[in-house]
Amino acid sequence: MRDVSAEAVVGDDLACAYRAVRDFTEALAAALSPEDQCVQSMPDASPAKWHRAHTTWFFEQFVLVPRLRGYRPFDAAYAYLFNSYYETVGARHPRPARGLITRPGAAEIGRYRAHVDAAMQRLLDDPAAAHELHGLVELGLNHEQQHQELLVTDVLHAFAQNPLNPALHPDWQEARLPGPTRFVAFAGGVVEIGHAGRGFAFDNETPRHRVLLQPYRLADRPVRNREWLEFMADGGYRTPTLWMSDGWATVQAEGWAAPLYWRECDGAWSQMGPGGLAPLVPDAPVRHVSWYEADAYARWAGARLPTEAEWEHAAADGRLHGLTGQVWQWTASPYVAYPGFRPAPGAVGEYNGKFMVNQMVLRGSSCATPPGHARASYRNFFYPDKRWQFSGLRLAQEA
């Protein structure tokens, strides 16, 4: 998924960064047919075409309409079709029904993107306007990078329902982490976490603040498929004492017996991925597991999930490698506001703050995360039963 490069959204060359991020989205979509782009395989997922349109709507709604004199929206109906959850902006099409928007088609969305891109380039060619709008445009670009990852995960979920097992990226390969896992000790104490003020960060990464950590140890690699197979063989999915009550109820209701996309045939396991259906790689990080599964596995292994503060402190320490770029890693931390957090004013303040309830934090990044989009302070978050993202885990222990 890294066969096309997008520059990190940093520095003052905003026009260049804009083109790179927008081109990367189109490169991802180029591997898809118009029919692929219209599929919505479950309410949590969105069609690829919708991701392309929504990220374009963001720039039109928040940058062009209020800031570019004489700008005319491409189609007034798109304000309703491609709003996601911005209540202060207006009504929107229901999320579970995005797959019913067969029109406009994928080609028309391409023209919409070109229309907005041309207007954005005119705006960003003005140094004064580019300087004034830098923060808002940078937010929009990072928002689009998030949707690039969602596009990959949503298409993978759709392709996994297809009996032909199509590949989004035929040459994609699993990461391999051979050798034994070791635990690295950290002394703990009073440490600082949160964005340090250099470069871009979402508002939920702030403010930087102090936390007290007890001594702990963190695994030097994520849990792998071979270890998960041991958990399964030992009855991990059949042992209620390993699970939180809600997790056990979900296992029973959903019939979970293995991670999402695992398939067994004649005693051999395979797994659906961006490269299609392939034999399970024992040394690859386990992926597509929920928080409930990660928590149960950690308990079975005689360990626990790290807190997000422990994870970030270890990342800043520099002794652990491979913390990013493989799988998002579930933590034991609920997604809540940092002390002193204040959402941004206006509609963009709906971006993160209003979701700070009933969800769990993941740290790191995954193989589906676009280049330049990972950092130690990044806080991803999902409900504990969700597993269509590239989510795995790394174990922690008391020192």
The arithmetic mean of pLDDT across residues 311-329, rounded, is: 95
Q: Are residues 231 and 346 in the same domain?
A: yes
Q: Are residues 104 and 228 in the same domain?
A: no
CB atoms within 10 A of CB 171: 9
Please tell me the predicted confidence (pLDDT) of residue 348: 81
Please tell me the predicted confidence (pLDDT) of residue 73: 97
341-350 tens-digit pLDDT: 998 887 788 7
Name the domain boundary from 100, 128, 160. 160
The arithmetic mean of pLDDT across residues 258-268, rounded, is: 96
- What are the tokens at 74? 């491409």
Element housing 43 (H / E): none
Q: Are residues 34 and 137 in the same domain?
A: yes
Residues pairing with 391 in the sheet: 328
Instruction: Give per-residue burial for 51-82: e unless 16+ CB within 10 Å, then b.
Output: bbbbbbbbbbbbbbeeebeebebbeeebbebb
- pLDDT for 12 beyond 70: no
Q: Give residues with Cβ within 8 angstroms of 300, minimum separation 6.
A: 231, 234, 236, 239, 242
The answer to the question of residue 170 being in a domain is no
Please tell me the predicted confidence (pLDDT) of residue 349: 80
The answer to the question of residue 156 being in a domain is yes
Domains contained in the chain, number: 2
Please tell me the predicted confidence (pLDDT) of residue 5: 35
SS3 call for 398 = strand
Q: Are residues 61 and 125 in the same domain?
A: yes
127-163 tens-digit pLDDT: 999 999 999 999 999 999 999 999 999 999 999 999 9
The answer to the question of residue 331 being in a domain is yes
Domain of 194? Answer: 183-398
Q: Are residues 196 and 78 in the same domain?
A: no
Q: Give residues with Cβ within 8 angstroms of 225, minimum separation 6.
A: 271, 280, 281, 282, 283, 284, 285, 286
Please tell me the predicted confidence (pLDDT) of residue 2: 39
- The CA distance from 259 to 381, in Å, is 19
The answer to the question of residue 358 being in a domain is yes
The answer to the question of residue 174 being in a domain is no
Q: What percent of the chain has pLDDT over 90?
A: 91
More confident residue, 178 or 11: 178
Residue 274 one-letter amino acid: P
Q: Are residues 193 and 74 in the same domain?
A: no
CATH assignment at residue 207: 3.90.1580.10
331-342 tens-digit pLDDT: 999 999 999 999
- The CA distance from 198 to 81, in Å, is 36
Q: Are residues 108 and 217 in the same domain?
A: no
- pLDDT for 11 beyond 50: no
The answer to the question of residue 171 being in a domain is no
- What are the tokens at 109? 């969305």
The answer to the question of residue 223 being in a domain is yes
Under a CB-based contact definition with an 8 Å cutoff, are residues 212 and 154 in contact?
A: no
Name the domain boundary from 127, 160, 193. 160
The arithmetic mean of pLDDT across residues 274-297, rounded, is: 98
Q: Are residues 57 and 189 in the same domain?
A: no
Residues pairing with 193 in the sheet: 209
Q: Are residues 191 and 337 in the same domain?
A: yes
Q: Are residues 232 and 379 in the same domain?
A: yes
Under a CB-based contact definition with an 8 Å cutoff, are residues 300 and 243 in contact?
A: no
SS3 call for 265 = strand
157-180 tens-digit pLDDT: 999 999 999 999 999 999 999 999
Under a CB-based contact definition with an 8 Å cutoff, are residues 331 and 308 in contact?
A: yes
The answer to the question of residue 84 being in a domain is yes
Q: Are residues 283 and 152 in the same domain?
A: no
Q: Are residues 148 and 209 in the same domain?
A: no
